[in-house]
Structure 1
């Protein structure tokens, strides 16, 4: 009887540890949203990578992509925007700490174009944007402003990440 009870407790404990491990891998504290923006004769194909810390309520949005003028590639957009957030009842305002523009890219996008395709939050320090973030299970988040959905940010998990965590 004692052996059966011990095996049962051991099984429940191992099952709980396995559940915690899989939950941690489902929520890697990063998500990605592909965005295509059209403005007059220009187009921007962007990827927004949100990396965040739930405990610190801080994060970085990495914006990367290309922009086209008259269907010809004209340059590359690369920005890293650090932010902090606070949670209200219905919305999550993001406040920008500052931004850093990567300078290793050979052909940058002009600032006047960035201003037309991205909200001020992603362009200027000290700006804010207020999203309502709806969890879509373990798959990702829906970012909305009011009742209008802006984009779906999906949890991207590369196949090697669980192995790298075991090594480090």
Structure 2
């Protein structure tokens, strides 16, 4: 009987320690993210974009994966795929993002920086650029990204 109690105690202790370890490990490596989709029109050109914001609030850094395509006259003319590595400063619900590095996926990203800069702020195109957003939590899983009081993106995970 003592052997059964010992094995049971050992099993329960192992399960509890495993759960605690997994909880702490997940929390230490947790990265939050949210995704926003948008369509930008400029003359006869449409750009369909997805901005996937991945960030670590504690370390104040993150990555924005920018992907999509652009159409001219209704025909696909090029694809966009790049990562913007950034850090940020927070002041209440205002965030100033600072682009550190832009990584283009050369075999997918077929647009020039000049073209993309005509569609998006320079933060998403060139390194060492800044952009400020006000980010308001909408519910447990979504955010409203604004400049001033003007909503720009609805970001959900």
The root-mean-square deviation of aligned C-alpha atoms, in Å, is 1.9
**TM-score for both structures, normalised by structure 1:** 0.73
**1:36 Cα shift?**
0.5
Of the three residues 29, 32, 39, the one matched with 1:29 is 32
> Where do 1:68-83 residues align within 5 Å?
68-83=71-86
**1:138 Cα shift?**
1.2
**Residues 16-66 of structure 1 deviation map (CA, whole Å, 9 limit, x = unaligned):** x9xx89xx7xx8601100011000110100000011111111000000001
User: What residue is the counterpart of 1:103 in the other structure?
Assistant: 106
User: What residue is the counterpart of 1:65 in the other structure?
Assistant: 68
User: Unaligned regions of 5+ residues in structure 1, if any?
Assistant: 1-16, 156-168
CA distance in 1, matches of 2:50, 2:72: 18
**Residues 81-123 of structure 1 deviation map (CA, whole Å, 9 limit, x = unaligned):** 0010111134111011111111122x60122210111101111
**TM-score for both structures, normalised by structure 2:** 0.78
User: Unaligned regions of 5+ residues in structure 2, if any?
Assistant: 1-19
**1:148 Cα shift?**
0.2
The structure number with the bigger radius of gyration is 2
- Provide the aligned length of Structure 1 versus Structure 2: 132
CA distance in 1, matches of 2:33, 2:149: 24
> Where do 1:15-164 residues align within 5 Å?
29-105=32-108, 108-155=110-157
CA distance in 1, matches of 2:74, 2:136: 35
What's the secondary structure of 2:123's corresponding residue?
helix
Structure 1 runs (4+) deviating above 2 angstroms are: none
| Preserved contact between residue 31 and residue 55 of structure 2 (Cα < 8 Å) | no
